[in-house]
Structure 1
Amino acid sequence: MANAIFFLILLHICTIISHKCFATKLPTSPKFTAILIFGDSTVDTGNNNYISTLFKGNHYPYGQDYTDRLPTGRFSNGKLVPDFIASALSIKESVPPFLDPHLSDDELCTGVSFASAGSGYDDLTTVASGVIPVSKQIEYFKKYVVRLKGIVGEEDAKKIVNGALVVLSAGTNDFGFNFYDIPIRRLEFNISGYQEFLQNMIQRFIKELYNLGCRKFCMSGLPPIGCLPIQMTAKFEIPKARKCLEDENLDVEIYNRKLAKLLPQIQARLPGSKIVYADVYKTIDRHD
């Protein structure tokens, strides 16, 4: 079921990107110079292997369907959506983590993941877990650009960053860790206020990446958080009584609508940018 959902998300994202960014047909040659990934466990291809945290996917049963059936740090039985997107867009077969000490120059030039499982847009989300917030992921991206310039030169590095597909996928942990389960942010925000707080952070991050040369963005909305096992388990003591938390799902739907409305406004303020919204919620909801 998980593989089917991931495939449908991939198909949905690729359809949006292909419609908005090039042709309606998936390319046989790369239309993007690289793929750059920021976010949480949905797109972390192994960075948490190289930091001090309990949030790691480098053990069984993770990786049982991956090459050699070995765990890679991906929170998945096999590849993640970024890997499938990179492959479908003819960029590369899989996306390596930036923190991998054995990352080759060739791999770096076609893109990496800066994402960290357990992360979020809100720095407070990562305080207890020690994972990498999106704000620090962007600091790693700056180091990436420096290394890229050292490999291909400043002019070609600029072309690679300008032509790269930037994928951002986070937010679930912000609501789960900071608002619903451990109500830290509820002390200062109501749900609408926290939604706006996070989306202000998103605006800031996109603008910062734009100022660093990025132009093509795919921004993922949130899934039905109220149907995540961790959320249902936290609310229902009896396993058989578990059901989706519709109030949390409604919050997510409102958040996603706000985000979908916000992104064209951000694009209008950033000349030459292209920002597309990936509606993960509806993709999962339709095929659950």
Structure 2
Amino acid sequence: MLSRIAESLFWIGRYVERADGTARIVDALRLQLLEDPTADESASAATVLGVIMGMPVSGPTSVADVGSRLVFDRSSTSSITGALHAARENARRARETLSTELWESINTTWHRWNGLGRHSVTERHLSWVRERASLIAGISDSTMSHDDAWQFLVLGRALERADMTARLVATGGLSSGGPPWSAVLSSCGAQQAFMRSHRGMLTDDRAAAFLALDRQFPRSVLFALTEAESRLRSLSPEVERLGVSDEARRRLGSIRTALEYGITSDVVAGLPVKMQAVQTAVTAASAAIAERYFQSGPLPTWTEELI
């Protein structure tokens, strides 16, 4: 496979999942303010922008500011609009590799998103993004051969999911504007799965452990890291007798092992630090993947032909 095609597929997975994850983060803020009318909107909005998303914040911040920067800003791929546009552009470059249904779903998502309006963030905006991301993921899994092209797309999706869920989990329940765990569970679509596995006994520690460490819930941090490792093994299946030469696998395996085999109470107690380590590992793994598989320099251009 051409490196440029592999890179486009990888980023399609990441950008679609980024739009989904950003919608869930903004929805957690919306639910928090609905559940607790006395909550400080400025502090909560500043937490979303500054702590969760790592964006600079100066002065009082509102939900409208969050919507402007995380939902409607086309110039930034950290926003939903920017991520959906970038996903469509990458899909256009990899058009010959995608299934027709997948290309149509991504293209339609971008055009219909522009018709929803950009005045204020509503539940309709956020739920629609989540539904379209799920549709795109389902179509890719059911209409693409599960070859290297699909592996790169799912790899990007898994890395982005681990990063976005870690961002949300790191601030769940914080007294300084963080969303309550009930809102975090709802935004991750984990409310029913959590209630079934814990028989309805909701506590902060149990919710945190579920979203960070559950081996069966597809949006948990541990599940996403395991999925990313599996895709990397499929892309490079050689048997290594002395350690792991794949830097991306080494980075992901190290943090995944620390979570999976750590004492649950210790992981939950140090959740912000652990989740920051996950984000760092994902960033390092993404860079290692780019160095190993993607075009590292400018494409050669021919200016004249020697005779």
TM-score (norm 1): 0.31
- Structure with the higher fraction of residues in helix conformation: 2
TM-score, normalisation: structure 2: 0.29
The structure with the largest alpha-carbon Rg is 2
